[in-house]
């Protein structure tokens, strides 16, 4: 029988069904560039420490580079019977350079090897996500700059609450995705430590220089406990959680874009290139990108639940269950990257319908809080002012009027504190600009925030 690389103590060959059930190369082959990078660093360190000769190390490194060329060109033959990316690479290396290839694994286990590969992969992917998050934030900032004077209704409970600037609304999303960036950057601190040299679980008797391999691979340090190092997948769960948060924010955005693009709202026009039509109704323009983003959010939530469930019952140290960490990780990152790419283009291309937004901003008694504040500034206790304005709203409902349609005489029926100046207060622009505090929706504050963002980010 053909022996596995680990098959010295076995008398029977592996059952074919077991090979199918236990293989991971069908999906973990994407780790090949990181696996090879880790191996190159490991063999360089072995030579530095005198564990391998320089000639042996050079030959192995040259072979590894040839394997990488085959992988990148698509010529590499992946074999399921070799189980995973590590065994496939090592077997091909040995075919290329001979028995010396078997020395690559000196002082190393697949346990610390895969932990290193996944950390290198996650670090690379986080850098990609950070770039995409920045592009999306750029799109929101551009919307805010270009439509600084557009007024729209702000909502609570999906009921018209107070007028706000459209640009202020856009910057709310900017800050959502800025927090996502901060979360990923914080996660990088825990990702970017090297487990290489922890071996199977207890470290190794070889005189390895772990700091040297960490430096070669761009890690900021090394793990401090070999048992934790080979079994830790917290950074995987944390990365998937960060992806889930991004998708949640994208889903909130998607929900609003779907609503805003309806005939009933009519707040925005989505770009045609990011919508689809109906197979039966020729008039339809469907916001499929937003709907699919909303739907794919549940998929990434599932990835998060999967990794948490995989980890929850594992005793120290490595268990084969950890092979199952990769598919949810890969899926979450793939999904979030595509969602960020496409939604950045949607946001950049959408157009607000300013007249419709302003028209709706003055409805729903959106100026009621301004009236209550007006009375409070005149000396009336706010709770009393709240009651008076509530009665005013009831009067408007009975008469079919909006607050900005009332005369001074009508205002005075409810309080003598109302003066001529109350009439000039009754505009959505006046309401917006009265909220001139840091973080408020006043035009002055929004412009300051735009400039602050531009000074901090290299857009």
pTM of the model: 0.94
How far, in Å, CA of 321 to CA of 317, rounded? 11
Active-site residue, 124 included: no
Question: What is the model's pLDDT at position 1?
Answer: 44
Which stretch of DSSP H or E encloses residue 63?
helix 54-73
Question: What is the model's pLDDT at position 406?
Answer: 94
For residues 189 and 221, the answer to whether their CB atoms sit within 8 Å is no
Strand partners, 162: 154
Question: What is the model's pLDDT at position 325?
Answer: 98
Q: How distant, in Å, are the alpha carbons of 65, 147, 377, 412 from that of 417?
A: 83, 37, 10, 7
* Catalytic-role residue among 26, 53, 65, 278: 278
Question: What is the model's pLDDT at position 12?
Answer: 80
Active-site residue, 415 included: no
CATH fold group of domain 364-456: Ribonucleotide Reductase Protein R1; domain 1 (1.10.40)
- Mean pLDDT, 10 residues at a time, over the chain (459 residues)? 63 82 94 98 98 98 98 97 95 97 96 98 98 98 98 97 98 98 98 98 98 98 98 98 98 98 97 93 94 98 98 97 98 98 98 98 94 96 96 96 93 96 91 96 98 93
Query: What CATH number is given for 111-208+220-359 in this structure?
Result: 1.20.200.10
Q: Where do the structural domains in the chain lie, given as residue ranges?
A: 14-106, 111-208+220-359, 364-456
- The length of the chain, given as a count of residues: 459
Q: Do domains 14-106 and 111-208+220-359 have the same CATH topology?
A: no
* Catalytic-role residue among 73, 157, 205, 424: 157
**Given 1.10.275.10, 3.30.420.40, 3.30.750.24, 3.30.420.10, which CATH number is that of 14-106?**
1.10.275.10
Nearest CA among 183, 177, 186, 123 for reference residue 339: 177
């Amino acid at each position: 029988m053909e022996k596995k690389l680990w098959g010295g103590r076995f008398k029977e060959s592996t059952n074919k069904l077991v090979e199918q059930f236990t293989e991971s190369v069908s999906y973990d082959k994407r780790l090949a560039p990181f696996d090879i990078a880790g191996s190159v660093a490991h063999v360089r360190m072995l030579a530095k420490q005198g564990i391998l000769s320089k000639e042996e190390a050079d030959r192995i490194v040259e072979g590894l580079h040839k394997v990488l060329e085959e992988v990148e060109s698509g010529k590499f033959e992946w074999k399921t019977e070799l189980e995973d990316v590590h065994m496939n690479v090592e077997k091909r290396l040995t075919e290329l350079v001979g028995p010396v290839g078997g020395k690559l694994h000196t002082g190393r286990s697949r346990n610390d090897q895969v932990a290193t590969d996944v950390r290198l992969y996650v670090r690379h992917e986080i850098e990609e996500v950070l770039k995409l998050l920045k592009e999306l934030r750029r799109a929101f900032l551009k919307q805010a700059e270009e439509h600084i004077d557009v007024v729209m209704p702000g909502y609570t409970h999906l009921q018209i609450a107070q007028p706000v600037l459209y640009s202020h609304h856009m910057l709310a999303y900017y800050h959502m995705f800025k927090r996502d960036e901060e979360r990923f950057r914080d996660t990088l601190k825990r990702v970017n430590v090297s487990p290489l040299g922890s071996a199977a679980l207890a470290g190794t008797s070889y005189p390895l220089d772990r700091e040297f391999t960490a430096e070669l691979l761009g890690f900021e340090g090394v793990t401090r406990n070999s048992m934790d190092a080979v079994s830790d997948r917290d950074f995987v769960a944390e990365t998937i959680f960060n992806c889930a948060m991004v998708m949640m924010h994208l889903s909130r955005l998607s929900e609003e874009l779907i609503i805003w693009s309806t005939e009933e709202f009519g707040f925005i026009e989505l770009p045609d290139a990011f919508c689809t039509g109906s197979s039966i109704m020729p008039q339809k323009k469907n916001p499929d990108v937003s709907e699919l983003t909303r739907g794919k959010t549940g998929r990434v939530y599932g990835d998060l639940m999967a990794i948490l469930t995989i980890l929850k019952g594992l005793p120290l140290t490595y268990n084969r269950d950890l092979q199952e960490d990769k598919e949810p990780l890969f899926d979450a990152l793939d999904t979030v990257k595509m969602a960020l790419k496409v939604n950045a283009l949607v946001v950049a291309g959408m157009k607000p319908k300013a007249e419709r937004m302003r028209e709706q901003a003055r409805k729903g008694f959106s100026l009621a809080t301004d009236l209550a504040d007006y009375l409070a500034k005149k000396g009336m206790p706010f709770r009393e002012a709240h009651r008076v304005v509530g009665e005013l709203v009831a009067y408007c409902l009975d008469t079919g009027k909006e607050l900005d349609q009332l005369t001074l005489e009508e205002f005075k029926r409810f309080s003598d504190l109302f003066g001529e100046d109350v009439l000039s207060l009754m505009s959505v622009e006046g309401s917006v600009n009265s909220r001139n505090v840091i973080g408020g929706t006043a035009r002055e504050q929004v412009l300051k925030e735009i400039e602050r963002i531009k000074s901090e980010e290299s857009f």
